[in-house]
Every structure is written in C-alpha cells, then in structure tokens.
Amino acid sequence: PATKLPKVGTTIFTVMSQLAAEHKAVNLGQGFPDFPVPQRLVEELDRAMREGHNQYPPMTGAAPLRQAIAGKALRCYGATVDADTEITVTSGATEAIFNAIHSVVREGEEVIVLDPAYDCYEPAIDLAGARAVHVALDPQTFAVDWARVQAAITPRTRLLMINSPHNPSGAMFSADDMRALADLLRGTDIFLISDEVYEHIVFDGRRHESVLRWPELRERAFVVSSFGKTYHCTGWKIGYAIAPPAMSAEFRKVHQYNTFASFAPAQHAFAAMIRDEPEHDEQLGAFYQAKRDRFREQLLGTRLKPLPVPGGYFQLVDYSAVSDLPDHEFVKWLTVEHGVAAIPLSPFYETPPAGQRLARLCFAKNEATLDAAIERLKKL
C-alpha cells in the first residue's frame, strides 16, 4: 500500500541506540537517565499493585493523580486547574501531543512548528491531513523570531507548537517571549500546544515560563508534560495534558479511543510522590546543573565546543574543529570509530541550516558514564 507517512523511517533515537549497542559505544544519544528512579517511587508502585490498582483507571486518569497535578500547577505556577475537567492523564507526552493535535486540527489546515523540533510533532500533523509549516529558530541561540512566526500565519493556521526548555537545544522562553506570543495570538483562533516535559530541569536560577503562568495563553493551550524526565523513568510512559474544559472534552474524545487509559499502578505512585515529596521537583534543577557543569568542564579538555545549556538534559556541541562531515555521518563515525553515540540535529529540521556542525549529547548519566565518554572524546 502507498505509505501515509512517506517522510518517516525509524526514529534517529532508535537508530542511534541500536548502533551504540552494536558497537558497545557509550550511549549519549537517545535521551534517558542511566541511574535508578527514586526508591520511594518503586515502593509506591509496588504498594499500588498490592492495594489492587490493577484494573482500568478512569479514562481521564486516576483521581488522586489528577488532584496531585492540580496541586502542582498551583504550587509551581500559581495556576488554578480543575482536576475533573481540565486534566487528562496519557501514555506519555507523546500520546498527549498526538491527541491534542487530532482534537483540533482538520484536513487542509496548517500547524506552525519551530525548527529544530522534537520528532513526534510532524507525523501526528501529517496523519491529521494537515500541513506543518516550519519556522526556523536562530541557528546559534535557538531564539524565536516572532516576526517570522507572524509572517507564517495564514487563514488556514490552526495551531502553533512550542517547547521550552527546548529539545534539542536547551533554549528557554523568557517572559518577553511569552508576551510576544500573547500579542501574536490575540484575536486569532489559533490553538497552542506547549510541550513542557523538561519543566523542572532549568538552570542558573532561570524561571520556567509555563503557559500555566499566562492566563491569556492558557485559554487556548494544551499544556503537556510527562513524568519520564522528572522521575528518571522514561520507560513508564505517563504524561498529561492540561487544557480548558471545552478543549479537554475534545482531547478526551481522542484519548478515549486511542488508549482509553494508561498504566494504573504508576498513576497512583506518581500521585503519592507529587503529594508527599514536592521537593523532588524543586531539587531537580540543581541535580542536573551539577551534571551539566561537570560535563561542560570536562568537554573543555576536548576539541568539541559546548553551546550554552539554559535547561533540559542535552548538551549541544560544535564539532567543526574535529570534522567537516555532515552531522548524520559524524555521529555514525563517532559511534563506530570512537565509541560514543550522539544525536545529529538535522532530523529535527525540515531544512537543516547549511553547514551546521552540531551534535547532541545527553548528560542525564552517572559520572562514570560521562567520564568514560570524555576519555574517548579527548582522543578526537
């Protein structure tokens, strides 16, 4: 049959993890921690299963989890969110993004995507019969040029996708960005998806500008997050979307027939963590900042040039002093010949900037893992 997704192959994350395994490379490619989840979370998961939370949870998500998420929105962002009508628990942020796109975007419409962009956005847009319109971020700073976004808006524009802290660059929106975004969308009927999965991984005292802080934006937004990054458990695949009641109702129509509900025991475990250990979120920035700082310091002993990392757990490096290979070839060479797996940036773009020589390294790793990678990178 003719493929519905002609541009899609196997994701770069899968490709690079397989190549890393094949060549016994240190895997700094696909983003996942290599250290354990908090012990308390494991105990809560065990407890949830023993206490019998093993059947279908409510379609919208287990009530204690939705209440805990509402509590967290208030604590972190001063936002009053209704646990019954505005929060839906999903199988990871990936499902939430898919549902949100499918609940508002119709065939022939346009969705603005800021490049580089996380890889799950465009296929979901394509499957909705819509078209992704790509607007490039600044190739050095990864800042948004809002005038360019404005210029990309047409009568067919239905949705804008944003992501801060940003994967792959770590760039973060400022309060000025949020004001520019509000100005841009005021008076339009354009929806917003705000991908905030790295919301707690922010550095140097920066403030995460959640859309939940901005009432005018919240009215038109699906705010998406995930527990995978926050609790070091990317394999548990529990996320959620917060949206106004009418938008949540449409979102739930898709969720209900996509997965219906997500792994019940984990929902109860996260509810307990959020309720009883709020300091976990607050300490996450410092935890990762120590890793970032140590890794950047070590990179100074290599010929890779680290770019600034305001948030998230990825370090971009400029490898132009080492090689002139295009990024796809460079990361394969690095994995096969030098035993360190990385992610190229070009898969995050419709049109990668000509001559860009950047690769993404994940520092959500134990010191021993990062040390082993650095030993190899020093030989470049």
Name which of ligand GLN, ligand PMP, none residue 93 binds, using a CB cut-off of 5 to 8 Å depending on partner kind.
Answer: ligand PMP
Which CB atom, from 200 or from 237, has the smaller least distance to ligand PMP? 237
Which of 297, 291, 380 has the alpha carbon at shortest distance from 335? 380
Which of 116, 83, 119 has the alpha carbon at shortest distance from 98? 119
Q: Which residue is nearest to ligand GLN (CB)?
A: 31
Q: Answer yes or no whether residue 13 interacts with ligand GLN by CB under 6 A.
A: yes
Q: Answer yes or no whether residue 349 interacts with ligand GLN by CB under 6 A.
A: no
Q: Which residue is nearest to ligand PMP (CB)?
A: 92
Residue from 15, 20, 25, 31 touching ligand GLN (CB under 6 A): that is 31
Within positions 79 to 98, which residues make up the interface with ligand PMP, using CB under 6 A? 92-94
Within positions 172 to 211, which residues make up the interface with ligand PMP, using CB under 6 A? 195, 197
Q: Answer yes or no whether residue 298 interacts with ligand PMP by CB under 6 A.
A: no
Q: Give SS3 for 194.
A: strand
Residue from 234, 259, 320, 323 touching ligand PMP (CB under 6 A): that is 234
Burial 229-265 (b: 16+ CB within 10 A, else e): bbbbbbebbbbbbbbbeebbebbbebbeeebebbbbb
Instruction: Output the smallest distance, CB 3 to ligand GLN, in A.
Output: 20
Instruction: Output the smallest distance, CB 167 to ligand GLN, in A.
Output: 5
Instruction: Output the smallest distance, CB 92 to ligand PMP, in A.
Output: 3
Q: Answer yes or no whether residue 91 interacts with ligand GLN by CB under 6 A.
A: no
Name which of ligand PMP, ligand GLN, none residue 30 binds, using a CB cut-off of 5 to 8 Å depending on partner kind.
Answer: ligand GLN
| Joined tokens for residue 175 | 């309060």
Q: Answer yes or no whether residue 30 interacts with ligand GLN by CB under 6 A.
A: yes
Which CB atom, from 164 or from 167, has the smaller least distance to ligand GLN? 167
Within positions 142 to 171, which residues make up the interface with ligand GLN, using CB under 6 A? 167
Number of residues that bind ligand GLN (CB under 6 A): 5
Rounded Cα distance, 171 and 77, in Å: 20
Q: Answer yes or no whether residue 17 interacts with ligand PMP by CB under 6 A.
A: no
Whether 306 contacts 317, CB under 8 Å: yes
* Amino acid letter for position 259: T
Rounded Cα distance, 299 and 305, in Å: 7
Number of residues that bind ligand PMP (CB under 6 A): 14
| Joined tokens for residue 305 | 């040039």
> Between the CA atoms of 84, 192, 210 and 167, what dihedral angle is there, to the nearest 10 degrees?
120
Burial 120-137 (b: 16+ CB within 10 A, else e): bbbbbbbebebebbbbbb
Which of 251, 196, 268 has the alpha carbon at shortest distance from 85? 251
Q: Give SS3 for 248.
A: helix
Largest CA distance in the chain: 58
Instruction: Output the smallest distance, CB 200 to ligand PMP, in A.
Output: 13
Binding site for ligand PMP (CB under 6 A): 31, 92-94, 118, 163, 167, 195, 197, 226, 228, 234, 237, 239
Binding site for ligand GLN (CB under 6 A): 11, 13, 30-31, 167
